[in-house]
Amino acid sequence: MQTLGQRLREEREKRGLSIDELAAQTRIHADYFRAIEKDDTSSLPGGFFYRSFVRQYARLMELPESVYQPELDRSLAAESSEMANRETALPDRKLNVPRMPTGKTDRREETRRALAGLGILILVMAACTGAFTLYQRWSLAKETAELEAAHQASTPPQAGKAAAPAPPPPQETAPPAQPQQAPSPEVPQPSAQTPSQPEGPVRVIVRATELSWVGVWQGQKILFSSVMQAGETRGFGVEDKMRIRIGNAGGVELEWNGKQIPAPGPRGQVRTLDFWSDGYSVVQPPAPKPEDAPPAQPGLH
């Protein structure tokens, strides 16, 4: 009876192929094909490689699976039987495997860790809040100092009086009206007025509910710059545009052209507002410069 190796060699010779040509096509060493044709399985690396090489050889020769599959099944069965009868090289000894964790935890230790983490979180939040508060106070003190300096530079000092930081413009007493005199030809300038007196297309009334610094401008001209006490009220009127800066945004109430408007910001923060006859807007504060450092003493509280 013809063996599988003989059948493969016969098919190869019919096609006029040499073993070297098969090796070049399949990239399998030519000695393995010679061993297959001689049915010499001992010259192959192992049963797995023998079955793989035979399958590739048979498919290359276009043989049906029924021709070579019985031989492959026999080879696999023999290899399995040999492996079952082979003694293992590992010694038969007990292995000391550590006990697996049960999943139980120490409730007290977990509680201590949770409390420690919560304490650290509270300390971090307190430190951030304190740093933010110091920065707000420093920023308010800095802006107050800049505005006072600008006011002092624009207002000439009065003789016999020491210059006070950012005093409100003095109210001049108007002379008694005389019927025979003609009206003054001077154009009246906008100034700080009482709530019942604001005139012009842009009218703003500031009511202080807490201690707060307030500055009012018309263009480059300072109309008012001072600290308003709780309960104090000021009114201002201009023709075109008015800018108001508040040191304690949550400590004042604003009325624009007879309309009550919401507080421009929270307590302790600086806010700047621009008013026109047809509307108003809150100016966003500029970002702080990295090189600036807070002063040793805070400003207004």
pLDDT score, position 228 = 94
pLDDT score, position 160 = 43
Same domain, yes or no: 254 and 128: yes
Summarize pLDDT for 40-67 with one digit per residue, the tens: 888 888 888 988 989 998 898 888 888 8
pLDDT score, position 164 = 47
Same domain, yes or no: 131 and 37: no
Same domain, yes or no: 10 and 138: no
pLDDT score, position 142 = 83
Domain boundary among 68, 85, 102: 85
> Mean of the pLDDT values across residues 243-270?
92
pLDDT score, position 161 = 44
- In this structure, of 91-95, 96-100, 210-214, 270-274, the range with the lowest mean pLDDT score is 91-95
Band (105; pLDDT cuts 50, 70, 90) = low
**Domain contains 253:** yes
**Structural domain boundaries enclosing 55:** 4-85
Euclidean distance between CA atoms 208 and 233, whole angstroms:
6
Same domain, yes or no: 148 and 293: yes
Same domain, yes or no: 119 and 212: yes
pLDDT score, position 179 = 46
Q: Is the pLDDT of residue 252 over 90?
A: yes
Euclidean distance between CA atoms 32 and 28, whole angstroms:
7
Which among 22-31, 103-112, 208-217, 279-288 has the top mean pLDDT?
208-217
**Domain contains 164:** no
Task: Provide the domain count of the chain.
Answer: 2
Band (94; pLDDT cuts 50, 70, 90) = low
Share of the chain above pLDDT 70, in %: 72
pLDDT score, position 81 = 84
Q: What is the pTM of this model?
A: 0.35
Same domain, yes or no: 207 and 274: yes
Same domain, yes or no: 131 and 41: no
Domain boundary among 85, 102, 137: 85
Same domain, yes or no: 122 and 58: no
**Residue linked to tokens 């308003």:** 228
Dihedral of alpha carbons 189, 190, 194, 200, sign: positive
Same domain, yes or no: 148 and 247: yes
**Domain contains 160:** no
Q: Which residue has the higher pLDDT, 191 or 205?
A: 205
Same domain, yes or no: 139 and 30: no
CATH no. for residue 27?
Answer: 1.10.260.40
Q: Is the pLDDT of residue 17 over 70?
A: yes
SS3 for the chain is CCCHHHHHHHHHHHCCCCHHHHHHHHCCCHHHHHHHHCCCHHHCCCHHHHHHHHHHHHHHCCCCHHHHHHHHHHHHHHHHHHHHHCCCCCCCCCCCCCCCCCCCCCHHHHHHHHHHHHHHHHHHHHHHHHHHHHHHHHHHHHHHHHHHHHHHHHCCCCCCCCCCCCCCCCCCCCCCCCCCCCCCCCCCCCCEECCCCCCCCEEEEEEECCCEEEEEEECCEEEEEEEECCCCEEEEEECCCEEEEECCHHHEEEEECCEEECCCCCCCCCEEEEECCCCEEEECCCCCCCCCCCCCCCCCC
Same domain, yes or no: 200 and 267: yes
Same domain, yes or no: 62 and 145: no
**Domain contains 104:** no
Band (195; pLDDT cuts 50, 70, 90) = low
Euclidean distance between CA atoms 141 and 298, whole angstroms:
7
**Domain contains 62:** yes
pLDDT score, position 287 = 59
**Domain contains 40:** yes
**Which are the contacts of 142, defined by CB distance < 8 A and separation ≥ 6?**
292, 295, 299
Summarize pLDDT for 150-182 with one digit per residue, the tens: 766 655 554 444 444 544 544 444 444 444 444
